[in-house]
């Protein structure tokens, strides 16, 4: 049977570099062995999934040059490729497990469950479902379900013994069954959880090789067990190391730009970003660091994957990008790339209304719009000098803005305005004063284009990166300071 791989992002935010990372390795595996690569959208979390995000993910992957053989946009023989459209499949399969005795209906309330969890945490024991509804007679459970009582379906799990996972990169990994929870498979809203959906879809879509982050390794027993219950052959698993922040924690937007669109906006070439992701945990046999997707495919071997979690280093990415720009672009190509990057109508149009009123000559434009075309403005402590406020106050304000915006998802002007004016109100200061360090951090100057619209155009990651950069220019916030400020911040929340 030919090799089939897939990437299965969930459309719950900005397109993540981790998604591209997994996609890259999956794609290389499939292409190397002449198989297919599938894109599947895991949108079973109705509250968090959005169409906008799904589009952004597909656009970003394509921008990077990652193309799929089957997917929601191009169809294929195993569709639909969007989990929300496969609902009946999951219901049907979950039902089958119930009738065969591999799963059971659970009527426990959310309150009981969270209480249980709290108790278990306090007792410092194992945390997990206690099997309360296991005692229910099947007939009674069916009757209650038929009567419309809300419930979930959970899988049964062996009480003793070990589950052996044959990880293709790590070898045999053993996990005791008593460490595995009686996972919910079908939620009360009738949607599957990841664990059910991933198994059903991977099997039905003929996926033979699964690349995913190592965060999944401890839940693999659940998946293997489901394959066994269904009588299916499981795929080969390759658990890749996690991309890391400089402090070694899992790459996160709080600490690092994670959105592919950020790197696009910063002016990285897609080839260079993809190249860089390829050298995270993988290397060419000859040690060459600059390589194209085709070259990576040609030489790809899972055995060359290294397992230490690689720290995402933007400086090295920048160096690599420089090489791509210098070595692969002739002057015409360079000009074209500049155009597709930002010097085009679709990027410029939303900016025009923000500057037209403020311009007397076209030559004024550069000074007014520089911050739409730059990465991080050059800042010093002096940039934040203010006639009324002390540097300490400025720093505090900026930190509060950063925290508030970290928790803010809808990056359109109006919601941003609401959030920030709300913050100013809570802090008891004027919006103008609150925005001062924001203007400086974002544009490098105390005055520039209207802030909320500017933030929207810049996007969340670049905005956050600049605000953090501003904070750093102010001398940074020490642990001690952060603790004190955090307390004040929490007090104004209420």
Partner RNA sequence: GCUUCCGUCGUCUAGCGGCAAAGACGCCGGGCUUUCAAUCCGGAGAUGGGAGUUCGAUUCUCCCCGGAAGCACCA
| Of 75, 138, 161, 322, the one binding RNA by CB under 7 A | 322
Q: Binding RNA by CB under 7 A: which of 34, 77, 326, 363?
A: 326
Spatial distance between the Cα atoms of 291 and 285, rounded to a whole number of angstroms: 11
Q: For RNA, which residue of 5, 53, 193, 261 counts as binding (CB under 7 A)?
A: 193
Residue with tokens 């195993």: 78
d(CA 463, CA 449): 14
Residue 99 binds to RNA (criterion: CB under 7 A): no
String of contacts with RNA for each residue 365-404, x by CB under 7 A: ----------------------------------------
What residues from 218 to 257 belong to the interface with RNA (CB under 7 A)?
A: 218-219, 241-242, 244, 247-250
SS3 29: helix
Among 254, 316, 336, 412, interactor with RNA by CB under 7 A = 316
Quick check: helix, strand or coil at residue 80?
coil
In terms of DSSP bridges, do strands 4-7 and 36-39 run parallel, antiparallel, or are they unpaired? parallel
**CA separation for the pair 218, 205 (Å, rounded):** 23
Letters for 153-192 (x = contact with RNA by CB under 7 A, - = none) are -----------------xx-xxxx--x-x-xx--xxx-xx
270-299 mask for RNA (x: CB under 7 A)? ---------xxxxx---x-x----------
User: Which 119-158 residues touch RNA, going by CB under 7 A?
Assistant: 124-129, 150-152
What is the smallest separation between the CB atom of 280 and RNA, expressed in angstroms? 5
Catalytic, 253? Answer: yes
Q: By CB under 7 A, name the one of 52, 55, 62, 304 that touches RNA.
A: 304
Q: Which stretch binds RNA (CB under 7 A): 27-35, 67-75, 102-110, 401-409?
A: 102-110
Cα–Cα distances in Å, from 6 out to 56, 124, 318, 412? 18, 38, 29, 32
Segment interacting with RNA, rule: CB under 7 A, options 137-145, 210-218, 339-347, 440-448: 210-218
Q: Which has the closest alpha carbon to 187: 82, 113, 127?
A: 113
Structure tokens given for 119: 């108790």
Within residues 6-25, the interface with RNA by CB under 7 A covers 8-10, 12
Residue partners of 260: CB distance under 8 A and separation at least 6: 14, 15, 16, 17, 19, 20, 60, 61, 63, 64, 273
Locus of tokens 């309360």: 132
| Cβ count near 117 (within 10 Å) | 14
Which residue is catalytic, options 253, 290, 479, 480?
253
- Which C-beta is closer to RNA: that of 73 or that of 181? 181
What residues are annotated to the active site? 253
């Amino acid at each position: 049977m030919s090799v089939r791989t897939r990437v299965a992002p969930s459309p719950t935010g900005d397109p993540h570099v981790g998604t591209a990372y997994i996609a890259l390795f999956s794609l290389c595996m499939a292409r190397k062995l002449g198989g297919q690569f599938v894109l599947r959208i895991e949108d079973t979390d109705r509250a968090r999934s959005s169409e906008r995000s799904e589009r952004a993910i597909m656009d970003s992957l394509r921008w990077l040059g990652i193309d799929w053989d089957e997917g929601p946009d191009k169809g294929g023989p195993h569709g639909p490729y969007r989990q929300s459209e496969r609902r009946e499949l999951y219901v049907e399969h979950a039902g089958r497990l119930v009738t065969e005795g591999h799963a059971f209906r659970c009527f426990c309330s959310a309150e009981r469950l969270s209480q249980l969890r709290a108790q278990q945490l306090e007792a410092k024991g194992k945390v997990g479902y206690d099997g309360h509804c296991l005692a229910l007679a099947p007939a009674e459970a069916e009757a209650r379900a038929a009567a419309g009582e809300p419930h979930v379906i959970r899988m049964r799990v062996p009480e003793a013994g070990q589950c052996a996972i044959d990880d293709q990169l790590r070898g045999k990994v053993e996990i005791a069954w008593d460490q595995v929870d009686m996972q919910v498979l079908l939620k009360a809203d009738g949607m599957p959880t990841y664990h059910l959906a991933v198994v059903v879809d991977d099997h039905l879509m003929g996926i033979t090789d699964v690349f995913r982050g190592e965060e999944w390794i401890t839940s693999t027993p659940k998946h293997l067990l489901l394959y066994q219950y269904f009588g299916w052959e499981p795929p080969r698993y390759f658990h890749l190391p996690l991309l890391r922040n400089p402090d070694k924690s899992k790459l996160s937007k709080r600490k690092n730009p994670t959105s592919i669109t950020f790197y696009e906006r910063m002016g990285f070439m897609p080839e260079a970003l993809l190249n860089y992701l390829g050298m995270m945990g993988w290397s060419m046999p000859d040690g060459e660091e600059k390589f194209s997707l085709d070259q990576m495919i040609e030489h790809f071997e899972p055995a060359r994957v290294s397992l230490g979690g690689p720290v995402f280093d933007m400086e090295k990415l920048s160096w690599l990008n420089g090489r791509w720009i210098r070595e692969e672009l002739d002057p015409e190509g360079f000009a074209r790339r500049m155009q597709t990057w930002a010097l085009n109508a679709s990027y410029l149009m939303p900016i025009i209304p923000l500057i037209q009123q403020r311009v007397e000559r076209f030559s004024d434009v550069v000074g007014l719009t520089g911050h739409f075309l730059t990465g991080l403005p050059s800042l010093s402590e002096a940039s934040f000098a203010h006639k009324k406020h002390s540097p300490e106050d400025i720093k505090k304000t900026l930190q509060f803005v950063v925290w508030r915006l970290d928790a803010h998802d809808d990056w359109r002007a109006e919601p941003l305005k609401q959030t920030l004016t709300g913050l100013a109100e809570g802090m008891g200061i004027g919006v103008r004063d609150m925005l001062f360090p924001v203007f400086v951090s974002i544009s490098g100057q105390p005055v520039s284009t209207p802030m909320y619209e500017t933030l929207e155009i810049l996007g969340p990651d670049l905005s956050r990166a600049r605000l953090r950069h501003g904070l750093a220019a102010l001398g940074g916030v020490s642990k001690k300071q952060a603790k004190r400020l955090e307390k004040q911040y929490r007090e104004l929340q209420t």
